[in-house]
Amino acid sequence: MLGRGRILLIVGGGIAAYKSLELIRRLRDRDYSVRTILTRAGAEFVTKLSLSALSEERVYDDLFSLTDEQEMGHIRLSREADLIVVAPATADLMAKMAAGLADDLATTCLLATDKPVLIAPSMNVMMWNHAATRANHATLLERGIGFVGPASGDLACGEVGFGRLSEVPEIIAAIEAALGDKPLAGLKMLVTSGPTREPIDPIRYLSNRSSGRQGHAIAASLARAGAEVRLIAGPTEQPDPPGVAVTHVETAIQMLGACEAALPVDAAICVAAVADWRPAEVAEFKLKKRRDASPPALELVENPDILATLSRHAQRPRLVVGFAAETDHLLENGQAKRTAKGCDWILANPAASIGSAENTVDLIDASGVERWTAQSKEQIAQHLVQRIARFLTPKEGQLR
Ligand code: C5P
C-alpha cells in the first residue's frame, strides 16, 4: 500500500472547489496518496493542472476516453481506493448518487465502488434545506455514506446558514476516522480545561467565565485521533468526553497537583482559565454581613502557573501548548507570554471567545504566526490535533 492509504477524491463544481487543492496538499503531507476525478462543473473552478501538480498523479475526468479506459478503467479506479471522498459535493451530485445515476466518470465510480464513501457537501443554504436535498441526504445516510459538514456560516452567495464546505482539518479528521486511522496512537496527552474556583469561605469562591468548551473539545479530538488523554477539568457544565480519563478539580493548586501526577506525557495543552490569584486565607465559617462593620477586605496571593511549571519541569513534555485570551494587542501579548512561560506554542484568542461556541485563533510558535479564522471550537480542536500530529510524528525529511 502506498503511504497511509489511497484516496479517490471527487471534486464537484462549486466555489469551494478551491479548497480541494489545500485538502490534497494536507493529505499528501500526511502521507496519503490521492487520485482525483474532476467533474465537468468542478473544472469550471479548479484546473486539472493544479490538481495533478499537488497530487503528483494524473487527474481523471472523462468516462469515455479510450486512453483512460485502457490505462485505468472506472471499475479499477473506484476499487483501488481505500476511501472515496467527494469534496465539494454539490446538491446535484448528491441527487445523482441518491438516484443511482451514472452519467459521467465521477457518478459511475460512485456507483461501481465497493469502498466506503465520505461526502463533504457545499451549497447554498436554501438548496441544503430543500426537501429534495433533505430526502437525498437521508437516503445516502441510510446507505452508510459518511458525511462531514456542511458547516454553518457566511456562504459565497452572500447568505448565511448551513452549506459551507467544512474546513480542511475537519475533512481530514473525518477521512482519518473513516479509515480507522489513529495518528496519535501510542502518545499520551494532558489537557487542562475550564475555570478554577478559589474558595473565600465554605460558600463563596472566586472564578471566571470559562465554559470548558474549547479544552473539552480538544481532549475529545485528541482521543479520537488515538491518543491516551488525561483531562484535568475545573468545574464546568461540560460532560466528560468519551474515551478520555478525567480528573475533576476545583482549585489551581489541585489542578497543578493533578497535572504533575499525570507526567510523563508527550504533550500538554493548557486550556484552563486558571485563576491568577486565590484568597490568602479561606474562612472556616461563612463570612457574615454585619450592619455595623465595613465589608471584609480580600487579601489575594498568587497561584502557581501550571503552564510555566510544566514548561520548566524535569519531566517536560515534548510539546507544551498554552492559550492566551486577550482583550487587546493579541499578537504582542501572545508572543510575550510564549517567551515568559517557556511553552512551545501559544494559541492567542480574543477574550470575547470565552464561553462562546466560536473562536478565532493565532497560533504563535518560534517561527511566526498562523491565523485560524473564525470557526467552531470543535473545528479549532481538530485543527490543533492535526498540527500536534504533524509535530509529534513528522514524516521523515518533512519540515514541522
Ligand atoms: O497568564 P494567562 O492566564 O493569560 O495565561 C494563559 C495560559 O496560561 C493558558 O494556557 C492557561 O491555561 C495557563 N495558565 C496556567 N496557570 C495559571 C495561569 C495560566 O496554566 N496559573
According to the model, what pLDDT value does residue 65 have? 66
* Cβ atoms of residues 344 and 320 within 8 Å: yes
According to the model, what pLDDT value does residue 69 have? 56
CA pair distance 180, 314, nearest whole angstrom: 35
Q: Which of 60-74, 101-115, 365-379, 380-394 has the weakest average pLDDT?
A: 60-74
For ligand 1, the distance from its centroid to the CA atom of residue 399, given in whole angstroms, is 29
Q: Retrieve residue 400's grid coordinates.
A: 514541522
Residue 301 clears pLDDT 90, i.e. is over it:
yes
Identify which of 90, 77, 71, 80 has the alpha carbon closest to the alpha carbon of residue 20: 90
CA pair distance 131, 348, nearest whole angstrom: 42
CA pair distance 286, 199, nearest whole angstrom: 11
CA pair distance 245, 135, nearest whole angstrom: 39
Instruction: Report domain extents, the chain.
Output: 5-178, 188-392
Higher pLDDT among residues 381 and 255, named by residue = 255
Please indicate whether residue 109 is annotated as part of the active site. Answer: no
For ligand 1, the distance from its centroid to the CA atom of residue 150, given in whole angstroms, is 34
CA pair distance 326, 349, nearest whole angstrom: 6
Do the domains spanning 5-178 and 188-392 agree at the CATH topology level?
Answer: yes
For ligand 1, whether the C-beta of 198 sits within 6 Å is: no
CA pair distance 396, 263, nearest whole angstrom: 27
Provide mean pLDDT across the span 320-343: 93
What rounded mean pLDDT belongs to the chain? 90
| Domain topology for 5-178 | Rossmann fold (3.40.50)
| β-strand pairing of 319-326 with 300-302 | unpaired
Over residues 120-147, the pLDDT tens digits come to 999 988 999 999 999 999 999 888 898 9
For ligand 1, whether the C-beta of 218 sits within 6 Å is: no
> Is it true that the peptide bond before 195 is cis, omega within 30 degrees of 0?
no
Over residues 345-397, the pLDDT tens digits come to 999 988 887 777 777 889 999 999 988 876 778 878 988 998 999 899 865 44
According to the model, what pLDDT value does residue 353 have? 77
pTM summary value:
0.72
Higher pLDDT among residues 372 and 294, named by residue = 294
Domain 188-392 has CATH 3.30.1360.120: no
- For ligand 1, mutation pick of 218, 274, 384 (most atoms within 8 Å of CB): 274
